[in-house]
A and B are shown apart, each in its own frame.
Chain A
Amino acid sequence: MTDEIDEMEEIIIEFIAEAEESLDKIEPLFVELEQKGEDKDLLNDIFRSMHTIKGAAGFLGFQLIVSVAHSSENIMKKLRDREISLSKELMDVILKSIDMLRLLLEHLKAKDGMEEDIAPLVKELEDALNTAISGTGIAEEPGEPVESGTAATVAENIEPREEPETAGIPESAQNPDAQTGSSPAGQQETAEVAQAAKDNAQKPKETPQNLRVDIERIDKVMDLAGEVVLVRNRLLNISKYFNRNYSVDSQTETLMETVSFLDRVTSDLQIAVMKMRMQPIKKVLSKFPRLVRDISASVNKEVELIIHGEGTEVDKSVIEHIGDPMTHILRNSIDHGLESTEERIAKGKPPKGTVIINIFQKGNQIVIEVSDDGQGIDIEKLKKKAIEKGLLTEEDARKMSDDAATDIIFMPGSSTKEFATELSGRGVGMDVVKTNISLLNGYVEVSTEKDAGTTFKICIPLTLAIIQALMVEVSGAKYAIPLSPIEETRKVSKEEIENITGQNVIVIRDKVCPLFELNILLGNGSNGNNGNEPDHKYIVVIAMGDRRFCIAVDSLLGQEEVVIKTLEGIDTTSSYVLGATITGDGKVVFILDVAGMSRKLFELIKL
């Protein structure tokens, strides 16, 4: 008996996930439909998804879902069968039904036992359908009244929830396959649909075998893989010791071979586990067409959204955390970036604004670009506001380069009504975007050109759990610096270090680059040499977007693969520490948060 209950529980969980996926899939289709006009393939896809949700919900006894899906499906069926055409009103009410289904699924997920009053929505759906039908007049067309009447009665018997007014509508042109003798128009449509079906059949989709696995299990495997990496690293160290001291022993050679094999397998395991957590970023993007539609409608602008690279795979945690910042950037682009239609026409631009989301993998990073073809950021105005707000002094503002000035929008407190309208400025500003992205160890930068547009570029490391790091030492303590933002390492002599207005800098390939002592950054006071500067220093050059800075350390120890363990109770926003790891020799080492460092340091020196 308990087995059966567990089975039911699992089925319900699966249903929720699958239904949510279906809704995610159909929502952008609707927006696409609105843009492209009525496309029968799209309409059939939409109808089928809604239909399936209803069917499964019926089995599981989720009557509220059945009712909403049923009313919504009725509209989709008539749309698919060309009995009515898509209007903004229908679209709005259908999107509402999708929202309601999501809400109902949330209740199921939370098991909160809460019920929603769906009656008003069901009524609204039916009214919208009736209005659409009386608007087209197709309903009055003589079809096969007797046949249709029977069909409606049958349907009513099976679906007791069906309201009489919808049941009474003649269901002509119901199914193309079933159309044997009707009007010429109907026949033509049948042929079209049959052709479409044939087209579909000719491109059979690949059906990969999928297995749904609880994310906790994957995370557990991820965690264990991390531990294996740590053990591997220790073993590598120990085997090196044996190789040094007992190289004559034949067993040492065997040990070295075995360890090197383990080394390779561990790396493969790591990649395999990492891939298990990767999902196409499409999951996040699917809500954007709807969002763009809603935002552009509310500010009365025409916007086209173009998305490239939606198949790019990213870590699950990226999927979970990138949605909000991207939403915020999109809002910002539409609300502030794009001009009003009149302004665009006056400027000789196409009346419809364009927002492009471009996603791609670059080395070990995922790059997400959101660009608009709007007016660009008015830097002088931005500076002025920042001075008024007390975020900048006038002198700072004057010295500030344009690139640095665009970053003002990421400053906490910059998002006020002067900067943002109601829409984008609901208490949260672009600084939240920055914070969210740095939580993913990523960074965001902005480039803008007057009247050409603005681009936000987000860069995020591919995986968050295991990273390649450069091990460095300062005052006898080891630290790990994530490898991906490191541009190069150098050995510099004392003479190469210059001082400009109190800030140490060095010149690298004709570019001035600020230099910081790691020891001082970490709050250890001095540079650890009691004023006796050594002749040479090792520096690590970090590049975060267009910003570069150098960190001076005592020595470079080499590259190591480290597993990030988060630290409880450490304020990572102020300590420049991202987490910790256990190295090959079994010691706990801090991993430095260079993204945070970059942010803080550039705030300080305002370069």
Chain B
Amino acid sequence: MSDLNMKILVVDDFSTMRRIIKNLLRQIGYANIEEAEDGAQAYSKLKGNGFGFVVSDWNMPNVDGLELLKKIRSDDELKDIPVLMVTAEAEKEKVVTAIQAGVNNYIVKPFTGEVLKEKMDKILEKINS
């Protein structure tokens, strides 16, 4: 079982979506959740705040999910934070780009709490093994 006090950042430009994902995370049992509206805000929140996980939307204004991922991976402090990318259409080439950029997994909208839990557990298991 993963650490339920792990600090999670939910990144999405649509506040309803952030709320839905937060709600799903709470259902799983996570309690320490913060939000960001886009990649730029997410990046500045991540710096020096001890986040353990990022769930990010792909298509956002300013800095999108992929750019955020690249920034995280090229930052010494943040590079090991697992990132789960939320995408609407699993277009293959898009996912390939994300994997090349170092995404830990992706999840296709709409998803249930169980699918989210499964994806997150898998990522965390892999990291801890």
**CA–CA, A171 to B92, complex, Å?**
11
A201 touches B17 (CB 8 A): no
B97 touches A155 (CB 8 A): no
**CA–CA, A177 to B68, complex, Å?**
13
Given that A178-B97, A201-B67 are contacting pairs, would A59 and B17 also be in contact in the complex, using a CB cutoff of 8 Å?
yes
**CA–CA, A60 to B23, complex, Å?**
12
The chain A residue with its CB closest to the CB of B63 is: A201
B93 touches A178 (CB 8 A): yes
A155 touches B90 (CB 8 A): yes
Known: A11-B23, A56-B17, A178-B93. 4 other contacts (CB 8 A): A48-B13, A55-B110, A197-B64, A201-B40
A58: interface (CB < 8 Å): yes
A52: interface (CB < 8 Å): yes
B79: interface (CB < 8 Å): no
Question: Interface range on chain B: under 10, 10 to 19, 20 to 34, or 35 or more?
Answer: 20 to 34
**CA–CA, A52 to B18, complex, Å?**
11
B93 touches A151 (CB 8 A): yes
B67 touches A15 (CB 8 A): no
Total A-B contacts with CB atoms under 8 angstroms apart? 95
CB of B74, distance to nearest CB on chain A (Å) = 15
A247: interface (CB < 8 Å): no
Given that A48-B59, A155-B91, A201-B40 are contacting pairs, would A18 and B15 also be in contact in the complex, using a CB cutoff of 8 Å?
yes
A207 touches B94 (CB 8 A): no
B94 touches A174 (CB 8 A): yes
Interface string of A9-44 (1 = CB under 8 A from B): 001001100110010000000000000000000000
Q: Report A-chain residues with C-beta under 8 Å of the C-beta of B41.
A: 207
Interface string of B32-72 (1 = CB under 8 A from A): 00000110110000000000000000011111101100000
Interfacial residues of chain A within 166-184, with CB under 8 A of chain B in the complex: 171, 174-175, 177-178, 180
Given that A58-B110, A59-B20 are contacting pairs, would A154 and B92 also be in contact in the complex, using a CB cutoff of 8 Å?
yes
CB of A7, distance to nearest CB on chain B (Å) = 6
B40 touches A54 (CB 8 A): no
Interface string of B83-95 (1 = CB under 8 A from A): 0000011111110
B96 touches A51 (CB 8 A): no
| 12 chain-A/chain-B pairs, Cβ below 8 angstroms | A11-B20, A19-B16, A51-B88, A55-B17, A58-B88, A58-B109, A59-B110, A59-B111, A155-B90, A159-B89, A174-B91, A178-B94
CB of B64, distance to nearest CB on chain A (Å) = 8
Q: Report A-chain residues with C-beta under 8 Å of the C-beta of B91.
A: 151, 154-155, 171, 174-175, 178
The chain B residue with its CB closest to the CB of A162 is: B89
Q: Which residues of B approach A to under 8 Å, CB–CB?
A: 13-17, 19-20, 23, 37-38, 40-41, 59-64, 66-67, 88-94, 96-97, 108-111
Q: Which residues of A approach B to under 8 Å, CB–CB?
A: 7, 11, 14-15, 18-19, 22, 45, 48, 51-56, 58-60, 147, 150-151, 154-155, 158-159, 171, 174-175, 177-178, 180, 197, 200-201, 204-205, 207
B37 touches A14 (CB 8 A): no
Q: Report B-chain residues with C-beta under 8 Å of the C-beta of A11.
A: 16, 19-20, 23
CB of B67, distance to nearest CB on chain A (Å) = 7
Q: Report A-chain residues with C-beta under 8 Å of the C-beta of B60.
A: 48
CB of B99, distance to nearest CB on chain A (Å) = 12
Q: Report B-chain residues with C-beta under 8 Å of the C-beta of A54.
A: 88
A174 touches B93 (CB 8 A): yes
Interface centre among A150, A154, A177 (most CB of B within 10 A): A177
**CA–CA, A75 to B23, complex, Å?**
32
CB of A97, distance to nearest CB on chain B (Å) = 17
**CA–CA, A154 to B41, complex, Å?**
32
A14 touches B13 (CB 8 A): no
CB of A58, distance to nearest CB on chain B (Å) = 4
CB of B73, distance to nearest CB on chain A (Å) = 15
Given that A18-B15, A52-B17, A56-B20 are contacting pairs, would A154 and B90 also be in contact in the complex, using a CB cutoff of 8 Å?
yes
CB of A442, distance to nearest CB on chain B (Å) = 34
**CA–CA, A54 to B57, complex, Å?**
14
A204 touches B40 (CB 8 A): yes
CB of B15, distance to nearest CB on chain A (Å) = 6
The chain B residue with its CB closest to the CB of A147 is: B93
Interface centre among A15, A55, A151, A177 (most CB of B within 10 A): A55
**CA–CA, A554 to B78, complex, Å?**
77
**CA–CA, A207 to B64, complex, Å?**
15
The chain B residue with its CB closest to the CB of A77 is: B89
A147 touches B63 (CB 8 A): no
**CA–CA, A150 to B94, complex, Å?**
12
Q: Which listed residue (A14, A45, A58) contacts B19, Cβ 8 A? A: A14
CB of B56, distance to nearest CB on chain A (Å) = 13
**CA–CA, A14 to B96, complex, Å?**
34
**CA–CA, A15 to B110, complex, Å?**
15
Interface centre among B15, B23, B40, B92 (most CB of A within 10 A): B92
The chain A residue with its CB closest to the CB of B40 is: A204
CB of A567, distance to nearest CB on chain B (Å) = 40
CB of A184, distance to nearest CB on chain B (Å) = 19
A205 touches B61 (CB 8 A): yes
Q: Report A-chain residues with C-beta under 8 Å of the C-beta of B59.
A: 48, 51-52
Q: Report A-chain residues with C-beta under 8 Å of the C-beta of B109.
A: 55, 58-59
Q: Report A-chain residues with C-beta under 8 Å of the C-beta of B16.
A: 11, 14-15, 18-19, 56
Q: Report B-chain residues with C-beta under 8 Å of the C-beta of A18.
A: 14-16
Q: Report A-chain residues with C-beta under 8 Å of the C-beta of B17.
A: 52, 55-56, 59
Q: Which listed residue (A56, A174, A201) contacts B14, Cβ 8 A? A: A56
CB of B61, distance to nearest CB on chain A (Å) = 7
Q: Report A-chain residues with C-beta under 8 Å of the C-beta of B19.
A: 11, 14
**CA–CA, A468 to B17, complex, Å?**
44
Q: Report A-chain residues with C-beta under 8 Å of the C-beta of B37.
A: 207
Q: Report B-chain residues with C-beta under 8 Å of the C-beta of A53.
A: 14
The chain A residue with its CB closest to the CB of B88 is: A55
Given that A55-B17, A55-B88 are contacting pairs, would A207 and B110 also be in contact in the complex, using a CB cutoff of 8 Å?
no
CB of B120, distance to nearest CB on chain A (Å) = 17
A177 touches B61 (CB 8 A): no
Q: Report B-chain residues with C-beta under 8 Å of the C-beta of A154.
A: 89-92
Q: Report B-chain residues with C-beta under 8 Å of the C-beta of A22.
A: 14
